[in-house]
A and B are shown apart, each in its own frame.
Chain A
Amino acid sequence: MESDDVIEVLVCRGTGCESSKSDVLQERLVEEVQRHGLDGRVVVKRVGCHGLCQQGPVIAIEPEGLFYCQVKESDIPEIVESHFVKGQPVERLFYEAPDGKRIPHYRDIPFYSEQQRVILAKSGHIDPGEIDDYVAAGGYKGLERALKEMTPDEVVAEVERSGLRGRGGAGFPTGLKWKFARRSPGDVKYAICNADEGDPGAFMDGSILIADPHAVLEGLSIAAYAIGAHEAFIYVRHEYPAAVASLKRAIAQSYERGFLGKDILGTGFDLDIKMMEGAGAFVCGEETALMASIEGRRGMPRPRPPFPVESGLWGKPTVINNVKTLAAVSLILRNGADWFRSIGTEGSPGTAIFSLTGKVRNTGLVEVPMGATLRHIIFDVGGGVKEGRKFKAVQTGGPAGGCLPAEKLDLPVDFDSLKAAGAIMGSGGMIVMDESTCMVDVARYFLSFTQAESCGKCTPCRVGTLQMLRLLDKIRSGRGEEGDIEKLLALCDTVVKGSLCGLGQNAPNPVLTTIQYFRDEYEAHIRDKVCPAMVCKDLIKFVIDPDKCIGCGACARICPTGAARGEKESVHTIEQELCIKCGACYEVCPPRARAVMKVPVGQTLEGAKGGAE
């Protein structure tokens, strides 16, 4: 390391790392750096999400590209002392590959090397609170090009040529949307950024807003210019306080630097961007509900047509784009449509961003070219299923998406192929499930979410989803009857065809796909009253294998009802009458014993063991 190089210490302050106290790490780093008199030579920076949330809190050291994982407060003095003073990086904090080898540079970690980070390129590498960082990284070049060198029509044409499709889930061609809005008559038009990311397990939009807010503001400004709007809104969910703060700061800085306000960049173009916080309703991610919410009404969707591009916010032509779409727009305007087309597939150019969660080794924020296979995302980037378990299914597209089984792992991921398989791209949630997951339970979980978040306006969604939930509960609790699957399918059909908005139309997807791909599991619940994954509480019981019990008493100590009992150092038992099936004994039973077992309700321990063999 050359001694005159400035060392940049990039502390991830994304949600995951921040919740593991990365804010404290940053404070400690600054203190230590000062204590060692390294100010000026070592710069500690607050950055957004690096993506590899599993390993958080993470710290990247530039320009070397070194990457420290799971850093604790107590590691800070060592890092400063050893690395910054003595020039010896702390090896034990490097990323540990599955084979036990330490990988010092993030570019060599498969999680990163298997990705193509385009939209996320700046995330984790620039300080989101400093507009200069963004500008230095080439930011606002796209806006400058649009405003200074292109007419609005040319901007629309460029985006159209890029083939960019809306990243909010439906995949509608962005350029076409803009063209419609531009052509719609009227002096007053609006551009809206939809940042109401509400899917459980999805954090892409929030992460981008925290890590790279200016990319979104730039895209929104370009969109406004293209359609002829002078007022734009960002509708961000209230439950993202960090994103709200980041946006507030970014908007203020943009005004200060003349990227917003009157006469932007001296081109005579005026634009005001206002931020609007949602009030916690999932359905406000639906564009018509979102507009109703901005207007101050209850967020409830209305039928389309008329589409927002004709009659949107306050009845004026309105374009609504997702955070990722707008971030992509900034890049398209900077690098050109051809560059964008060179990434991804013919029908879906560009990259796809997923928040990879569930039973996968590397949970985090992932960006791959469109057309990458599920296998690539889950196994190459994600490092495969956790704890060496078997992959069972992956849910894409959030609660209204679908569950795809192992047979679909080689499916190239883009808007059309996912749809054909029964799932959806959605806004980009991807939840990996292993063999310990019950698909009926999963379907019920997702449905319970969409059901509770239905706005209540249209009958099929409000009542239909509840009926589906009731049926799933019935099946899950072992009261399922022949014909229930058909009833479920019929209800799904009614809800899909009869619902007003995308929430209802897609809510049955988890049920439909789990029935399509895992029908045998449903049948096992209904016919055999067995939950093959041993998840559904009403269909299992906990018993202690006397041959294995070592009499440690852990189960008896944790049991909340006194069902698990036994003399010290002798075989324990579980009193079924008292057992509430909380599973605590199962969790605490020491791995060397593994005496507590889940057994189908109707079977004895011997029967279950026999069955297993």
Chain B
Amino acid sequence: MPKMTIDGREVEFGPECETVLDVARSAGIYIPTLCDHDELEPYGGCRLCIVEIEGLRGYVPACTTAAKDGMVVRTATEELMRLKKEILQLLLIEHPSACLVCAEWPACLQYRTQAYRAGRVTGCNTCPRRDDCELREVVEHIGITGLDYTPEYRDIPVERSDPFYDRDYNLCVLCARCVRVCQEVRGTGAITFVKRGHETRVDTAFGTSHVDCGCWFCGACIDVCPTGALYPRLSKWVGMPESEEVTTCMLCGTGCQFRADIKWGKVMATGPAPPDSAPNGRHLCVLGRFCIPPLVNAGDRLRAPHVRRDGEMVPVSWDEALQAVVEGLKGVPPGRIAVLGGPHLTTEAAYLLQKLARVALGTPDVASRGCEFASLVYRVLGADGALDRVAQLEDISRADWIVSLGGDFVESHQVVAKTVYGAVRRGVPLVHIGQPGKNLRRWTVEDVLVDEPVAPAVVRVLVEGSGAVEGVPEEQLRRVIDIVSQGRGVVLVGPRVLELDSPSDLLRDVLRLLGDDGRLVPLFLNGNEAGVVRAGAVHDMLPGPASVAAGAASYEEKWGRAVAAGADLGALREKARAGQVDAVIVLDGSIPVDGFEGVPFIVYQSPFPSPWLEHASVVLASAMSIEESGTMVNHEFREQALKAVVPPPGEARPDWEVLAELARRMGAAGFEYGSPGEVWDELAGLECRVGPTDTAAGDAWQPVPREETEWYPRYRGATLAERIEDLAVLIEALPGRRAPPPTESLEDMMREAREKWAARTEEV
């Protein structure tokens, strides 16, 4: 094992230590740094990690100097510490530093428990990062007690006009972490350094707004900032959380782990989970990073059960409400009851929902919104015994080539996009079949520019290794065939394949293209699509999932009731319109009421109000995903734990609890669960049973309308963009962004930018 001497200590180091800084850290020797970050490439900008190495001229940064056997390193000689002190002082000239060098600071910390609100940050006491500032750690280590130079406030206006977070570049120390994480890790490149000399600062190209410059508001820049320069607007003045919990985000199919910051019994902010969290590590997207607290803490959350009496909604106790449901359902023939779920239920709740329908109510008509994609994947891959071909995100990192189709995944799945970009950066070729957006276009080596309906033809050519597709240059097809014929591939299939007439054929072609080693990434748009299908809460699948043909017998035996395939959501709607439905239990307010208005008895169970409220007879207030525990199955088919990190508001109760109690009150057996874990135990052992003959469902495939396959995040009746103004700003900017650049010529682009700019200044 190679060795080096650091400050007189002999330190052995392995291959994981690439730089002198790595070695020092592995030995527990602290070298102050500001620009270094373990996810980013060494930068060498802040100059605080300079060390002396025998045989090397001058002082070298530990972060960029490769570790070599036999090095003799000194990290804290008198001269070095003097230099570091000087350099740090220079940094503090630009950064409001009164508090940093104030002798009263410890007392301040004790008596002023949190930073106070101020339009401008003038010192630590008015800084949102007061309690966990990396700059201050460095100052404390190096030991600065006063400034020898006159401070120079840069007086840059605080930028507040973009969604989600504020930028106060007066606090910026130009460590470039934000710029680098945006470019190196997220592949967005929305921000860069502008200007020179002491005017250098971080900004967007041409000073456009972040929305216009292609920022996705993933928040990675905030998470790496060592100062308070970047801060989420919503949680800016909340201070340190009382506790932090890690749980799973349900707002898309990726199932990212995130950290919930809890204070005063509420989730105040969300942030990245520990680095080793699967699948997302420390990265989130705009939904997980910014949208959860406003959603959870929304003022219009349903807080108590209600019953309609004389046309008025009246808050009642749970006992009364559940009794009202039992009464309302009494006497309704099973064939005239519909049970509607959605992709944002926990797997356990979905399981209980279908069990309630099939066992307690005896109706086959249980359907869920937004689970078509997961259902399709289970059906096609399950029939081939190919469920293990669904990729883990690490497979993307290990791929030799990547193909994406079915829409621009950068828009809908930013964490997957980040993983793909990591591979692209290492030189893995990425081919997109379809119309790529701005970012994706920069990452791909080939863009097969076809409209969605033509994508299957392109894939077919790739599978067969020859052929032609109208509108695609032959030469390009040949190049792409070359790319996909070598090594292990990964194909990302986006939700827009659902718009095709026969997406199952496409999936089968993709499997052939991938061969045995390749992996498929189905990009589920909605939280727990896979879990809901696995729980059997869809009309033609039983838990497992098992097709009705393959599973009916065993479930009939287990449940003691006849099991049959039910009607899908569309068919149920028509049935209701025709007056053939007498009762509906609906758990997803995002399902349009259309057609169900006339149903005499509607039970609406959700955390959020929706148009269903107007028609409901009974309203059951339920908990949101971060208020109940359970399991979510993501698009890797990974089982992610959902944790109840905050209590539900008012009297709202978790879905599983409500559903189980309802079934019990209706006298059904087999609903005695003490916790969601017990539900999971019953569900976990079930196997996927989809036979080759069961894929006939593909023949009855109804293409999903385009709006349903677009990125427009929803959660059980809550449309995020309608509730979160900042998200609306971002989403409204999307269509323009999705359009390909108007021309290829730089001159034209510059001219357009100038015109746009001129128009803007005129407005002002």
* A-to-B contact residues, CB < 8 Å: 281, 283, 298, 300, 302-303, 305-306, 451-460, 462-467, 470, 487, 490-491, 494, 497-500
Contact = CB atoms under 8 A, between A and B. Distances in A.
B549 interface: no
A462 B193 CA distance: 13
A470 B150 contact: yes
Given A454-B200, A457-B200, 17 more contacts: A298-B192, A302-B43, A302-B64, A454-B196, A455-B200, A456-B200, A457-B43, A457-B193, A458-B47, A459-B91, A460-B86, A462-B200, A463-B93, A465-B197, A466-B197, A487-B148, A500-B45
A181 to B, nearest CB: 19
A456 B35 CA distance: 13
Contacts of A302: 43-44, 64
Q: Main SS of chain A's interface residues?
A: helix
B193 A298 contact: yes
Interface in B127-168: 148-150, 152
B198 interface: yes
Q: Which of B58, B59, B149, B193 has the most CB of A within 10 A?
A: B149
A303 B196 contact: no
A445 B90 CA distance: 22
Contacts of B91: 459, 463
Interface in B190-204: 192-193, 195-201
Contacts, number: 103
Nearest to B44: A303
Q: Which of B43, B195, B196 has the most CB of A within 10 A?
A: B196
A183 to B, nearest CB: 18
A498 B200 contact: no
A303 B61 CA distance: 8
Given A302-B44, A458-B47, A490-B86, A497 B58 contact: yes
Contact of A451 (B61, B148, B197): B197
A5 B529 CA distance: 93
Given A457-B45, A494-B90, A497-B83, A463 B198 contact: yes
A435 B685 CA distance: 94
Contacts of B198: 451, 454, 456, 462-463, 465-466
B284 interface: no
A457 B197 CA distance: 9
B197 A305 contact: no
Interface string B197-219: 11111000000000000000000
Contacts of A456: 174, 193, 195-201
Interface string B41-82: 011111110100000001111001110000000000000000
B176 interface: yes
A491 B93 CA distance: 13
A462 B87 contact: no
A303 B150 contact: no
Nearest to B84: A498
A463 B196 contact: no
B219 to A, nearest CB: 23
Nearest to B173: A459
B245 interface: no
B94 interface: yes
B434 to A, nearest CB: 26
A140 to B, nearest CB: 35
B439 to A, nearest CB: 16
Contacts of A283: 196
29 contacts: A302-B43, A302-B44, A303-B61, A303-B65, A451-B197, A453-B197, A455-B196, A456-B174, A456-B200, A457-B45, A457-B200, A458-B45, A458-B46, A459-B46, A460-B86, A460-B87, A460-B90, A462-B174, A463-B93, A464-B87, A465-B197, A466-B152, A467-B90, A491-B86, A494-B86, A497-B59, A498-B59, A498-B86, A499-B47
Interface of B: 42-48, 50, 58-61, 64-66, 83, 86-87, 90-91, 93-94, 148-150, 152, 173-174, 176, 192-193, 195-201
Given A456-B198, A498-B59, A463 B90 contact: yes
Q: Main SS of chain B's interface residues?
A: loop
B86 to A, nearest CB: 4
Contacts of B64: 302-303
A494 B45 contact: no
Nearest to B150: A470
Contacts of A499: 47
A302 B180 CA distance: 14
Contacts of B199: 456
* 7 closest Cβ pairs, A-B complex: A456-B200, A303-B44, A463-B90, A494-B86, A303-B64, A452-B197, A466-B198
Nearest to B149: A467
A498 B50 contact: yes
Contact of A464 (B90, B176, B193): B90
A462 B196 CA distance: 9
A473 to B, nearest CB: 12
Q: Which of A451, A467, A491, A499 has the most CB of B within 10 A?
A: A467
A490 B90 CA distance: 12
Contacts of B150: 470
A455 B44 CA distance: 13
Contacts of A300: 193
B96 to A, nearest CB: 14
A453 B198 CA distance: 9
A404 to B, nearest CB: 24
Nearest to A450: B197
A458 B59 contact: no
Given A453-B197, A458-B44, A498-B50, A303 B90 contact: no
Contacts of B196: 281, 283, 452-456
Q: Which of A283, A490, A497 has the most CB of B within 10 A?
A: A497
A238 to B, nearest CB: 15
Contacts of A490: 86
B197 A454 contact: yes
Nearest to B66: A305
A12 B326 CA distance: 103
Contacts of A487: 148
Q: Which of A459, A460, A464, A500 has the most CB of B within 10 A?
A: A459
Nearest to A499: B47
A475 to B, nearest CB: 15
Nearest to B42: A303
A494 B90 CA distance: 10
Contacts of B58: 497
Contacts of B45: 457-459, 500
A457 B174 contact: yes
Nearest to A457: B45
A379 B60 CA distance: 42
A464 B86 CA distance: 9
Contacts of B192: 298
A457 B175 CA distance: 8
A303 B60 contact: yes
Nearest to A504: B47
Contacts of A453: 196-197
A216 B567 CA distance: 79
A487 B149 CA distance: 10
A463 B200 CA distance: 10
Contacts of A298: 192-193
Contacts of B148: 487
A116 B534 CA distance: 87
Nearest to B90: A463
A452 B199 CA distance: 8
A300 B83 CA distance: 23
A300 B58 CA distance: 21
A203 to B, nearest CB: 22
A570 B540 CA distance: 112
B93 A467 contact: yes
Given A457-B45, A457-B174, A459-B47, A498 B193 contact: no
